[in-house]
Structure 1
Amino acid sequence: MDWQFGGIPLHPLFVHLTSVAVPVAALTAIVVAVWPAARRWLAVGAPIIGLVALVSVPLATSSGEWLEHREQETALLERHTELADGLLPWSIAVFVLLLLWWGWHRFGTARMTSGGALRAVAIVGPVLLLTVGVVSMIEVVIIGHAGAESVWKG
């Protein structure tokens, strides 16, 4: 695919989308994990935010690979592209956990009567959401910083 519009590479556009969508999805994961009122307020919006973030990552990486083949290879650019490949699994995890967390609270809790299972999910769910939320935000910052260095120092 030709990742340009009017002769201008689309990578910066997708990078900006990703650098906003992934942290917003991560913050959404953290908020719904620790604040029940937000979980009710966001409802199905939380997984939708996660889906937008998830879709943005392959767009950014694919357009970045296209652009990489048209730029001079440097160690900084190589580091940026290697780091960028690590964001997709975290974005998948954020989306899947947001979807499961929403589904659990929408359909699962009403059907569960056992206190042990409810307690386990009430502990494990937020811990996983917090973990993937924090790590995905850190990943975006590290990848973005490496990309900025490759542009401005490379």
Structure 2
Amino acid sequence: MTTLNGLPAHVLLVHAIVVLLPLASLLLVLSALWPAARRKLAGPNALLSLLVVALVPITTDAGDWLEHRVASTPLIRAHTQLGDTALYVAIPVAVLALAVWWRQREAARTVPASLESPATESVVASPGGPGAAKLATRPAVARRVFLAPASTVVTVVVAVLSVAAAGAAVYDVYRIGDSGAQASWQGQFSPAPVPGGHGG
């Protein structure tokens, strides 16, 4: 993708990353730390995080296209190099968002064997006599899980990793955005009002 509505696509797509990646990071932290939020937000955030991962290479490819169509400066090169790091912070956010969602899904579907359903009862012959019988019970079996949704240790590890990944993503978006603003605007405006300008 190169242009949108006559403008370089990068300058439009970058706004989606600047908004959506920090939003996905915030939702990741909320869903990792707060069970009530996890139940409501884990699924939507998993989808949002995957969308961000898909948008990042589209945005950086559009940025590479634009880089070859503007004057090369150290600020432009620095911004391009920083932009390439966005995928490295978006992927951990998405992986952890998927893990949080999957663990929530498993937790919702897994019930202790004693609570899942009434035990199956069957009548068997009793050695006490031909007319005597007793009830035999077969305990219910809990569903199989893969990401230990009931484990406090795993929950804490996922929460710590989520906070770290979210913090790294937000900081990286800040650095990339700041370098882009520097590349676009440094030396491109007057510190004093120009004659004929608005209010001049």
On the 8 A contact 2:53/2:91 being kept in 1, the answer is: yes
Between structures 1 and 2, the one with greater strand share: 2
Corresponding residue number in structure 1 for 2:23: 24
On the 8 A contact 1:22/1:91 being kept in 2, the answer is: yes
On the 8 A contact 2:49/2:93 being kept in 1, the answer is: yes
Relative contact order higher in (CA < 8 Å, ≥ 6 apart): 1
Q: Percent identity?
A: 37
On the 8 A contact 2:21/2:170 being kept in 1, the answer is: yes
Corresponding residue number in structure 2 for 1:104: 103
Matched, 1:138 2:165: no
Structure 2: distance between partners of 1:6 and 1:97: 36
Corresponding residue number in structure 2 for 1:61: 60
Q: Quick check: which has more Rg, 1 or 2?
A: 2
Q: Which aligned runs of 4 or more in structure 1 are off by greater than 4 angstroms?
A: none
Structure 2: distance between partners of 1:5 and 1:123: 44
Structure 1: distance between partners of 2:42 and 2:100: 10
Structure 1: segments with no counterpart, 5+ residues: none
Structure 1: distance between partners of 2:102 and 2:156: 16
On the 8 A contact 1:77/1:150 being kept in 2, the answer is: yes
Q: Helix, strand or coil for the counterpart of 1:70?
A: coil
**Structure-2-length-normalised TM-score:** 0.70
**C-alpha RMSD over aligned residues:** 1.8
- CA-to-aligned-CA distance 1:5-40 (integer Å, 9 cap, x gap): 343211111100110010000101111111110000
Between structures 1 and 2, the one with greater helix share: 1
**Structure-1-length-normalised TM-score:** 0.90
